[in-house]
């Protein structure tokens, strides 16, 4: 495993300051993109759609919880699979963002819309300790609702509008761990990154999982390895 070139502090400061110019330009470009997002038009969605949540079928307007804006993250679901076999990418995304306090202070409610049936994923939500409300997209086929991954909505009276959505790497906005890794010398250690020769890489992205589970699950009570396999205490629920 290679390491960066070793230099004196004066040389390091010169190199760092040169990079800082580019970082500030990147920040300003991000500000310009955010300004453009605020100027996007919006499109109306069907406000009568109901998603099943903790309190049963819930219309979109109720999901705003009295606020004017709603930000939704979509979560995949593998039917009939244990907790340990659910999407590693969705797990990483949602685990990295668990407190919407500051969004709520700006009038934005945050929620998870999951592809699976509510009764099937509700024990998973409880097991993971997620506090955000979860709703089921199961059986829903409605433009602007069933096709987004990170989607923003605005409520105007009884009408609801989609103002923005993104997918792919756009969802990294919810994953500060990746931005922090970008600040470290070895980065994310993924093959697509432009890194110097000899930098460590993990082509399988195995860091999302450890010993057969998404790594956050090992922080949950009752998760223990037995004979090299992952099991979950019976008190957590069936086949987690």
Architecture of domain 37-235: 3-Layer(aba) Sandwich (3.40)
Under the banding of pLDDT at 50, 70 and 90, the label for residue 225 is low
Q: Where are the domains of the chain?
A: 37-235
Average pLDDT, the chain: 91
The residue among 234 and 16 whose pLDDT is bigger is: 16
At 118-149, the pLDDT tens digits run 999 999 999 999 999 999 999 999 999 999 89
The tokens 């605005």 sit on which residue?
Answer: 154
Q: Tell which residue, 129, 149, 147, has the closest CA to residue 71.
A: 149
The answer on pLDDT for 230 being more than 90 is no
With pLDDT > 90 as the criterion, what percentage of the chain qualifies? 84
So what's the pLDDT on residue 204? Answer: 73
Q: What is the pLDDT of residues 63-92, one digit of tens each?
A: 999 999 999 999 999 999 999 999 999 999
Would you tell me how many other CB atoms lie within 10 Å of the CB of residue 91?
A: 23
Half-sphere exposure of 188 (CA within 13 A, CB side): 17
Q: Which pLDDT value is given to residue 63?
A: 98
CA distance 211 to 221: 16
């Amino acid at each position: 495993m290679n390491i960066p070139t070793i230099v004196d502090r004066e040389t390091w400061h010169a190199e760092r300051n040169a990079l800082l110019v580019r970082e500030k330009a990147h920040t300003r470009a991000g500000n310009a993109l955010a300004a453009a997002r605020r100027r996007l038009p919006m499109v109306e969605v069907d406000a009568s759609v109901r998603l099943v949540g903790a309190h049963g079928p819930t219309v979109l307007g109720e999901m705003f919880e009295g606020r004017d804006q709603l930000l939704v993250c979509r979560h995949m679901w593998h039917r009939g699979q244990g907790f340990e076999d659910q999407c590693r990418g969705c797990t990483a995304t949602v685990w990295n963002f668990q407190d919407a306090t500051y969004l709520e202070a700006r009038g934005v409610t945050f929620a998870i819309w999951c592809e699976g049936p509510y009764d099937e994923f509700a024990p998973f939500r409880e097991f993971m300790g997620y506090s955000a409300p979860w709703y089921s997209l199961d059986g829903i086929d409605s433009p602007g609702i069933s096709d987004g991954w990170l989607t923003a909505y605005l409520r105007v009276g009884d009408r609801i509008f989609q103002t923005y959505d993104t997918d792919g790497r756009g969802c990294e906005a919810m994953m500060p761990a990746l931005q922090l890794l970008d600040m470290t010398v070895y980065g994310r250690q993924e093959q697509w990154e432009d890194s110097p020769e000899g930098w460590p890489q993990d082509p399988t992205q195995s860091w999302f999982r450890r010993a057969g589970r998404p790594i956050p699950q090992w922080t949950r009570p009752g998760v223990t390895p037995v004979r090299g396999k992952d099991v979950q205490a019976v008190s957590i629920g069936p086949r987690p």
